[in-house]
Amino acid sequence: MDYAIYKTFGDGQPRITHLFTQEDNNHRAKSAARQWLDELWRGILHRQYCFKTIKNAKGSVDEVSYDYQTSINTYERVRWYIAPL
C-alpha cells in the first residue's frame, strides 16, 4: 500500500506534501514515511527551543502537530500525519 504525508492548517483541507510508494522504497513505504516524519519532528523540537514561534508541540508515531505563531498573540494549529493514498 502506498502512503502519503498530509499537512493541514487549522481546520482546513488536508494537502499531500510527500508521497511514498512501494516501488520507490523497496516495499517499505510506511517505514520511509515514518522516518521522514521523525526527522520533521526532531526539527520542530529544535526550532521550539531556538525560536518562540512554535508552541504546544505534540507527536506520535504517525502524527505531529503544533501551534505556529502567525502574528502577535495569534497561533494556528499545524498537523502532519501519515495516511494511505
User: At residue 51, what is the residue type?
Assistant: F
Query: What pLDDT is recorded for position 3?
Result: 94
Query: What pLDDT is recorded for position 15?
Result: 94
CA distance 73 to 78: 16
CA 35 and chain centroid, separation: 11
HSE, side-chain direction, 13 A CA sphere, residue 2? 10
Query: What pLDDT is recorded for position 82?
Result: 95
Tens digit of each residue's pLDDT (9 = 90 or more) over 29-66: 999 999 999 998 888 888 766 667 778 888 888 999 98
Query: What pLDDT is recorded for position 46?
Result: 80
Query: What pLDDT is recorded for position 50?
Result: 65
Domain ranges of the chain: 3-84
